[in-house]
Structure 1
């Protein structure tokens, strides 16, 4: 899913799921029901907090930093390929020059 590839999309989805978890109704007063309400609240708040972290991270350009790092890596790879091509060309030119000096 394209939505889950971005930090903001992932965060919005987690916030939605966290809020939906908090909206669940648990009936009863047994110990099981009380612990279930506690776990529901902890899970909902944790998921909402993580979602907010993702949204804030996406808004503050963590995605931009990732793209910048990828762009630098691609630029470095291109520079290495260009350097290798220039070295090969230099060797070819030296070989041609050497053939001229022998005659």
Structure 2
């Protein structure tokens, strides 16, 4: 099982953690919500929990809780700029469907 970051995502996270002055990486998970059932959770992590599964890509750690890992296995986290907008994009091969508003997904 694996979760990866593109170079662009790793650079963004590393820059943000540097400005923030603390943190060990980014925590990725899923929560039950929306019309399709699941939504991604992404937050900066100050420390790893004992149960976290830790992946490291381009010098940046991605922490995933064991309950979320089956839904996220194979996911690549990217950071993209599209016009004036920028943000993280999830490329998850397990996604079967996404709701019309883009807030939730189904596996």
**So what's the TM-score if we normalise by structure 1?**
0.21
Greater Rg by CA? 1
TM-score by length of 2: 0.20
User: Where is the helix percentage greater, Structure 1 or Structure 2?
Assistant: 1
Structure number with the higher strand fraction is 2
